[in-house]
Structure 1
Amino acid sequence: MQKIQTQGVHHITIMGADRQTSIDFWEGVLGMPFIFDQPNLDNPDEGHLYFDPGDGRLITIFTNESRESVHDRTPTDAGCVHHLALNVSKASWSQVVKRLDARGIPHSGPKDRGFMDSIYFKDPLGFLIELACYRFEPPEGCRHADVMIEAHRIRVERGDYNIGEEHLADAIELLVTRTQQSLSDDRSPKDPYKRG
């Protein structure tokens, strides 16, 4: 028996309401370019809209003109999707509260997650959206996941409750030492400000 190895998220499809509500939210609120439009090939009564969330992957929406927008929370039962987290830059993150407030969109306010900052709000159908901003950039040639696993190991070794910025900084230093070459034989910390 062997695994079926995945290599990333291809796309995520969400049940939407009418076509215009979907376009107005995904492009008009979240800025995702509307890039492809065709019928749902498994249900001719539905449309299938495609949006680019910013990384070249896809968010797709099944639309139906007879479905109405609702403002309740979508189900959070076992097996249901709890929320969708989207990455934003620090510059965009600093504007999120102001821009949601300007539209009258209720939100959670900023949440400190240790390794990232988050804010939550619902789409017009009650689906929970998270906008997340990492507090770190991975070293060249590494991914966010590489930093996260090393920070996790450091956190566990130290007995800390959750990942914090110190764990991230130490993980980044470890990854740079491990993955990037140096002509120095000794790469340990030094004090070039010798006093006395």
Structure 2
Amino acid sequence: MTTPTPTPGIHHVTCIAGDPQQNLDFWVETLGLRLAKRSINQDDPSTYHFFFTDAKGTPGTSMTFFPWSDLPQGKVGTGQVSRTAFRVPNGSLDYWEDRFDQYEVEYDDRVGRFGETVLPFRDPDGLPVELVAVEIPEDDPTVPWDEFVPEKHAIRGFHSVTLWEADPQPTEDLLQTMGFEEVGTEQSAGDDPADERTRFAARGPVGKYVDVLPTIESSRQGRGTVHHVAFQTPTDEDQAEMRNAVQSQGLRPTNQINRHWFRSVYFRESGGVLFELATNGPGYDSDEPLDELGERLVLPGQFENRREEIEAGLPDVTIPRADSAEADD
């Protein structure tokens, strides 16, 4: 078998929310991410699909949501992405704690992890999220969106995801097949139910880490949980190589599926977490100008002729807008 081109890291993370307006308000206004795409769940067009990113929709910055208002609360547990972490510039955590106080966001005490400082918090649906203070390199590919949060404090794409696994070894082997390298193990901190976590690193710099914890906790998918995590396979050739490598480990990847802004392959890793392999193109600006991203409901090709029906079934939402003073704070 040909060794696949290593993944650069996380492409996007897709989660389940409840009320769509509450989801928009929190991720745009409170956290300061850009609504780069307002679309539908292509497998359930009666539901929105929101994409929150940096200013340009750079791969490795997309936190996306399916807001299913009638879905019950989920429970984070084994076989799930238990935490999603974002990078913020060093020195920003005081700002974020003050902002969380202002917006009444539930957050926990800071913890140290692999030499970095982590601020855990939850979104309105109870989704566990973290901010990790890091040094942002001058050539970093992310472009901060500063409509609500000043550039010097803005979120700069993913830092990591944490996987809870009953038997970590097969998952760790898979990550190494995908191009992640084990970089260390340390005692867990915060509210993790396990004694230690093992970290794996991709080429980076954005979304480069996956942490694996051995734990047995009951889980239930629903509001406040991660639906799947996607990893970058930038080209179709990269994706085909990775798909073959995954299949050779006894897993069952789908054929390539066209998701309009990228092309995808899905599979469940041995512990039950849904993984996706996603190309980097054609990108979020392939069907609307960069300066107009998120302004309108975009319906991927085959759904456009059902626009009237689909729009009638979706709840009205309002995109939060900043007054010019706030971003200058």
* Counterpart amino acid of residue 37 in structure 1: R
Secondary structure of residue in 1 paired with 2:24: helix
User: In the TM superposition, what whole-angstrom CA distance separates every residue of 1:121-156 from its partner, at most 9, and x where no partner exists?
Assistant: 11111110111102x567989xx9xxxx8x86xxxx
- Give the number of the structure with larger relative contact order, counting CA–CA contacts within 8 Å between residues 6 or more apart: 2
Aligned residue for 1:88, secondary structure, equals strand
Q: Which residue of 2 aligns with 1:59?
A: 63
CA shift at 1:82, angstroms?
A: 0.8
- Amino acid across the alignment from 2:68: N
> How far apart are the structure 2 equivalents of 1:65 and 1:126?
14
Question: Mind listing any 5+ residue stretches in structure 2 that lack a counterpart?
Answer: 141-158, 160-180, 185-329
Q: Encode CA deviations 1:49-106: one digit per residue, 9 max, x unaligned.
A: 11104672311111234447x6xxx523221111110111124222122111222222
SS in 2 for 1:61: strand
In the alignment, which residue of structure 2 is the partner of 1:108? 108
Going from structure 1 to structure 2, the CA distance change for 1:78 and 1:66 (only over 3 Å counts) comes to closer
> 2:18·2:67 contact (CA, 8 Å) conserved in 1?
yes
User: Deviation digits for residues 21-59 of structure 1, max 9, x if unmatched?
Assistant: 111111111100001111111112211111104672311
Q: Separation in 2 of the partners of 1:34 and 1:139? A: 25
- Matched with 2:28 is 27
Instruction: For 1:83, give the aligned amino acid.
Output: R
Unaligned runs of 5+ in 1: 153-196
User: Whose helix fraction is larger, Structure 1's or Structure 2's?
Assistant: 1
1: distance between equivalents of 2:131 and 2:79?
22
Partner SS for 2:133: strand
TM-score, length of structure 2 as denominator length: 0.38
Task: Label 1:35 to 1:77 Cα distance change in 2 as closer, same or farther (>3 A).
Answer: same
Q: Report matched runs for 1:82-121 at 5 Å.
A: 82-121=82-121
Distance in 2 (alpha carbons) for counterparts of 1:9 and 1:21:
26
**Counterpart code for 1:118:** V
Query: Given the alignment of the two structures, is residue 132 of structure 1 paired with residue 132 of structure 2, yes or no?
Result: yes
> When you count strand as a share of all residues, which structure comes out higher?
2
- Write the mapping of 1:172-187 to structure 2, written as runs, cut at 5 A: none
Contact 2:30 2:103 in 1 (8 A): no
Deviation at 1:2, TM superposition (A): 3.8
Q: How does 1:1-80 map to 2 (within 5 A)?
A: 1-5=1-5, 6-53=7-54, 56-57=58-59, 58-67=62-71, 74-80=74-80
Distance in 2, Cα, partners of 1:34 & 1:137: 22
What SS does structure 2 have at the residue aligned with 1:23? helix
Q: Which amino acid aligns with 1:10?
A: H
Q: Distance in 2 between matches of 1:96 and 1:16?
A: 22
Amino acid at match of 2:112: D
- SS of 2:8's partner is coil
Describe the shift of the 1:21–1:140 C-alpha distance in structure 2 as closer, same or farther (beyond 3 A).
closer
* CA 1:101–1:16: 2 relative to 1, 3 Å: same
Alpha-carbon RMSD across the aligned residues, in angstroms, is: 3.4
Normalised to the residue count of structure 1, the TM-score between the two structures is 0.61
Note closer, same or farther for the CA distance 1:139–1:63 as it changes in structure 2 (3 Å cut): closer
Aligned length: 144
Asked if the contact 2:49–2:65 (Cα under 8 Å) also holds between the matched residues in 1, the reply is yes
Q: Is the 8 A contact 1:34 1:50 kept in 2?
A: yes
Give yes or no for contact 1:97–1:109 (8 Å, CA) kept in 2: no
| SS of residue in 2 equivalent to 1:94 | helix
**Partner Cα distance (1:102, 1:15) in 2:** 25
Kindly tell me: are residues 139 and 46 of structure 1, through their superposed partners in 2, closer, same or farther at Cα, counting changes over 3 Å? closer
Divergent runs of 4+, >4 A: 136-141
Aligned to 2:204: none
